[in-house]
Chains A and B, each alone.
Chain A
Amino acid sequence: MKLDKILKQVEKPIRYTGGELNSCMKDLRDIRCRIAFCFPDVYEIGMSHLGLKILYDVYNRRKDTYCERVFAPWVDMEEIMRKEDIKLFSLETKTPINEFDFVAFTLQYEMSYTNILNMLDLGGIKVKAADRKDGDPFVMAGGPCAYNAEPITDFIDFFVMGEGEEVNLEIVDCYLKWRKEGKSRDEFLEMVAEIEGVYVPKFYTPVYNEDGTIKEYERNNGHAKRKVTKRIIKDLDTLTYPEKWIVPFLNVVHDRVMLEMFRGCIRGCRFCQAGYIYRPVREKSKERLEKLAESLIRNTGYEEISLTSLSTSDYRDFHPLANSLIEKFKPMNVNLSLPSLRLDSVSLKLLDEINQVRKSGLTFAPEAGTQRLRDVINKGLTEEDIMNACNLAFRNGWNTIKLYFMIGLPTETYEDLDGIVDIANKVVDLYYSIPKEERTKGLTVTVSASTFVPKPFTAFQWCGQNSIEEIKAKQDYLKKNLTNRAVKFNWHEPEISVIEAILAKGDRRLNKAIYHAWELGAKFDSWGEFFDYDRWIKAFEDVGVDYKYYSERPVSLDEKLAWDHINILVSKEFLKTEYEKAMNETVTPNCRQKCAGCGASCVGTGVCFERSEK
């Protein structure tokens, strides 16, 4: 059946048609290497992802290479595709993905894993790497979840650790060389394994102790590295950045210019994987950013620029940059959006000026309710900071405050939950203590509590997660105690966080569980309407995986971890120190205050060397 007829039967057909402004069309006769860049979620999510835009641009700047986009078809489309035997295809040339040289997945969140299996299957590619033959595409994956790739090693031929701008092109070179030499599939994997940052899981065999813990990872191929070290770009200013990026027809989640200010984060919150894996902090210069902003707006016609990073205010030239962008773009009716801003009087003035939030909502993320627990997690936000900012905000017309917390953090007690209630009530009291004429009517304080998920490569990688019962009891406690009329409480069902923890901290023994979950129908697990906890538990039980072993069990500090053979440039010793400091409720100063010696300074650039610059 022709595609056109099918598209008339599905919701949002432009998810599948491509042809957007700045999408890349090439003459296939000039192409020697074709990459299907797969985002394992629906178009609107995938097209909001900055990494996709960056790598699409990096590949397509190269004349002999063509990178096309592939997204997970929505369930209505999948149903028809399966019925009519239409293989998953790329948006640009509508080529089935099994005809590509590489099928590359980005791993942004664990709950997208089953979509990878489903997309491979829909694309006519053997789901298990071991079943693929000469002539089949190589299936590769990268992104934050690749750092612990173990749970999905059965499905992916090789992984790429770290920033992809350079390494992905090296892989293309390696591929072209391999093809010229006419070698076997395994020989390519041996060649690619020698590239820094590439992890070929089949060259490593895990060995387990009798109690089920990991004894070691044995290398079974001389081409494999003892430790795979993540790739990092030293100088972001000379790095290419997509200047003509695709403007979707559909209203996607992040539908604006994203201006990446820096990579990494100086803060070192102990639960935060991003804070560790993207080290060291490297900034782009203000001049470079101004130039990029200008060409991006010129090339896209977007009406909004968002400054992107893990912590906006930590950019050294933040205020000069924001002011210069406002000055430049306000006359062009382009708005500036400033997410994850540290709120002080200067930033509030800035927000006021750009009218960006229409004084609707200000967000704080104290994460924990007491200073004690905030010290444990190394979140350098004090109650005083929040109150000062709220005071200023209320006096300047704001009346909606959002407070983000996590529950189930290591060492948490009910006193810490009382602390959450306390902060919410204090914000309310503060509002009412301000004379009526000086504040805007109608206060709303929203308290959101997410569930803590321990992640690899964090100081809390050794910590167990609360059980579902414990989390539910804590949520109920908060529900019962957050009684103020002005306070709204939001929470999520903890089940999805439990599965997330299992997949995040899992080892190779989880592969069969993920495969089985997919067989049982799991897909779009990050979507509430498709996630089915019982199905996952059945999958674990059917294949004999003790799932609580991964989520709830506290791991001893001297145990071998499934990701110990990956080097993120932050040492395990440092993470251990951070763990111990957490247990002692001791904070670690941020990277600009004092170097904590995490190991990332070996890169020889970025925040670690700012002092010597002066």
Chain B
Amino acid sequence: MIARVKYSKGEEVKYVGHLDSMRTFVRCIKRTCIPIKYSNGFNPRVQISFALPLGVGVTSDSEYFDLEIEKKMNETLLIGELNSVLPTGFRAQKVTFVEDKKSLMSLVKEAVYEITIESNFEFSKIKDLFAQSEILIEKESKSKKGNQEINLKDYIIDIDFDESESKIIVRSTAGSVNNMNPNFVVQAVQKYVGEVEDFEIHRKELILN
């Protein structure tokens, strides 16, 4: 039995990286009465897997992990147990129980990001940039091929702007293939519009299949 937990990651913990977040969750879960199912073998482990890793410095309303448990437990109780032990900034929102063994990562399809840009130029210039059909940027790659040039527009499903908040709202492809790193958007603005003084990235939604 798998408990699929949706949680949020706030300002307080946005610099906690993916691996550090995972370790924190494992330690917190061990402090609850949730009936954890440990792996067999020499070194039994909590069986937990996470959806698409979130970059360091990024906040999110929509993170997921799958936790193997011995038996189903009351949803409210499970959420309450988690929130009683999680550090401020992490908050469990919702749980569903699934039998499916498909990995969480493979279910990730799309993501919605809100990207706030702080700069000295007119925000409308960003709108103009994204009206173009092609926005070429360099994608860093550690493979032999070296950096790759990609068209950012290929990843963007939908884009919207909130001028009063200097915010770009992007719906993009996500997951293990064709994942859009939200930093690409900042990179494109930096490259084609002008210097970005500061920025905030927030993952509004992660859409699972």
| Residues of A that sit less than 8 Å from B by CB | 2, 4-5, 7-8, 13-14, 17, 19-21, 247, 249-251, 298-303, 332-333, 355
Known: A8-B57, A249-B16, A249-B24. A19 touches B31 (CB 8 A): no
Q: Are B15 and A13 in contact (CB under 8 A)?
A: yes
Q: Does any Cβ of A come within 8 Å of B176's Cβ?
A: no
Q: Are A302 and B12 in contact (CB under 8 A)?
A: no
Q: Does any Cβ of A come within 8 Å of B169's Cβ?
A: no
Chain A at the B interface: mostly helix, strand, loop or mixed?
Answer: loop
In the complex, which residues 7-41 of chain B have their Cβ closer than 8 Å to any Cβ of chain A?
12-13, 15-17, 20-21, 23-24, 26-31, 38
Tell me the nearest residue of chain A to B15, going by C-beta.
Answer: A13
Nearest Cβ on chain A to B144's Cβ, whole angstroms: 27
B residues in contact with A7, CB < 8 Å: 15, 57
A residues in contact with B42, CB < 8 Å: 355
B residues in contact with A8, CB < 8 Å: 57, 198
A residues in contact with B87, CB < 8 Å: 19-21, 249
Tell me the nearest residue of chain B to A19, going by C-beta.
Answer: B12
Interface size on B, residues (CB 8 A): 27
Nearest Cβ on chain A to B142's Cβ, whole angstroms: 18
Known: A249-B16, A333-B44. A21 touches B24 (CB 8 A): yes
Q: Are B38 and A333 in contact (CB under 8 A)?
A: yes
Q: Does any Cβ of A come within 8 Å of B53's Cβ?
A: no
Q: Does any Cβ of A come within 8 Å of B136's Cβ?
A: no
B residues in contact with A247, CB < 8 Å: 24, 27
Q: Are A250 and B38 in contact (CB under 8 A)?
A: no
Nearest Cβ on chain A to B28's Cβ, whole angstroms: 6
Q: Given B13, B16, B30, B57, which contacts A301 in the complex, CB threshold below 8 Å?
A: B30
Q: Given A13, A298, A355, which contacts B57 in the complex, CB threshold below 8 Å?
A: A13
Known: A20-B87, A21-B87, A249-B20. A298 touches B31 (CB 8 A): yes
Count the A-B residue pairs with Cβ separation under 8 angstroms: how many? 59
Q: Are A19 and B24 in contact (CB under 8 A)?
A: no
Tell me the nearest residue of chain B to A4, going by C-beta.
Answer: B198
Q: How far is the CA of A332 from the CA of B46 in the complex (A)?
A: 11
A residues in contact with B198, CB < 8 Å: 2, 4-5, 8
Q: Does any Cβ of A come within 8 Å of B88's Cβ?
A: yes
Tell me the nearest residue of chain A to B16, going by C-beta.
Answer: A249
Q: Are B16 and A14 in contact (CB under 8 A)?
A: yes
Nearest Cβ on chain B to A254's Cβ, whole angstroms: 15
Nearest Cβ on chain B to A67's Cβ, whole angstroms: 19
Q: How far is the CA of A606 from the CA of B89 in the complex (A)?
A: 46
Q: Are B44 and A301 in contact (CB under 8 A)?
A: no
Tell me the nearest residue of chain A to B197, going by C-beta.
Answer: A5
Q: Given A2, A14, A299, A355, which contacts B15 in the complex, CB threshold below 8 Å?
A: A14
Instruction: Kindly supply a per-residue 1/0 record for chain B positions 111-155, scoring 1 wherever the CB is within 8 Å of any chain A CB and 0 otherwise.
Output: 000000000000000000000000000000000000000000000
Tell me the nearest residue of chain A to B31, going by C-beta.
Answer: A301
Q: Does any Cβ of A come within 8 Å of B208's Cβ?
A: no
B residues in contact with A302, CB < 8 Å: 27
Known: A14-B16, A19-B13, A21-B24. A301 touches B88 (CB 8 A): no
B residues in contact with A333, CB < 8 Å: 38, 44-45
Nearest Cβ on chain A to B209's Cβ, whole angstroms: 31
Q: How far is the CA of A8 from the CA of B199 in the complex (A)?
A: 10
Q: List 6 A-B contacts (CB under 8 A).
A: A14-B15, A21-B28, A21-B85, A247-B27, A301-B29, A333-B45
A residues in contact with B98, CB < 8 Å: none
Q: How far is the CA of A261 from the CA of B13 in the complex (A)?
A: 34
A residues in contact with B56, CB < 8 Å: 13
